[in-house]
Amino acid sequence: MLHHLLYAERQFRRGFLRTMWSKFYCAPLLRMYAKKVGKGLVMYEGLPKFLGNLRIELGDRVTLSGNHVWFGCGDTSEKLLRVGDDSYIGFGAELFSGSEITIGRHVLIANYVLLNGYDGHPLDPIARAAGERPGPEGYGPIRIEDYAWIGSRSVILKNVTVGRGAVVASGSLVTKDVPELTVVAGNPARVIKTIDPPAQWPPSGS
């Protein structure tokens, strides 16, 4: 009987109370911090950890699974993080915007994915030892286009575009553009197969 009571209390705390915490505390604070948040926001496990000067724009029905780090990296200039309608960002994701991170509509980003648009340190070892930032070549955009799926624990680096409907397999390191409707895997990631266009595949830009 005791364990049944403890289990019921845990379910209540992790269900109803967590929903109320998300809806009436976390979501309003995120709306105050962000430049734009659409309708139907779903949040689990509290607010992301915000670092740096980051402009956040979220579309409608975005789901945030929790325990995120969102970082506007490098200097104090404003960096962009934009997430489109009906997209999902999994638990433990880290989004480091060196200039901009743009995530399209209907994108699935699995748990513990790292989108890293900033090198963090220069290649020159003396400059690195002196604590200097990387030059302009150390920053770059990341773009995840509509309907893409990024597998768990993948890393996507600066100056990369993942095309519409593409799939990045779990644990991949993506250093160059991923074509539309392809599957990439490995370190570094390479195309391993193509995906047949769906019957109602929308034209690019629609």
The per-residue pLDDT for 159 is 98
The β-bridge relationship of strands 189-194 and 182-186 is antiparallel
Residues paired with 49 in a beta bridge: 69
Is 46 among the domain residues? yes
The per-residue pLDDT for 46 is 84
Is 63 among the domain residues? yes
The CA R_g of the chain, rounded to the nearest whole Å, is 19
Is 175 among the domain residues? no
Give the tokens for residue 163: 């095309």
pLDDT digit string, tens, across residues 76-92: 999 999 999 999 999 99
Is 183 among the domain residues? no
Is 180 among the domain residues? no
Specify burial of residue 94 (Cβ count, 10 A radius: 0-12, 13-18, 19+): middle
Give the tokens for residue 173: 């390191």
Is 125 among the domain residues? yes
Task: Give me the number of domains the chain comprises.
Answer: 1
Could you say which residues of the chain have pLDDT below 70?
A: 12-15, 205-206
The per-residue pLDDT for 14 is 67
- AA identity, residue 49: K
pLDDT digit string, tens, across residues 6-16: 877 777 666 67
Is 197 among the domain residues? no
The per-residue pLDDT for 206 is 67
Is 149 among the domain residues? yes
**Which pTM does this prediction carry?**
0.89
Domain extent, residue 115, equals 37-161
The reply to whether 121 belongs to the active site is yes
- What CATH number is given to the structural domain containing 52? 2.160.10.10
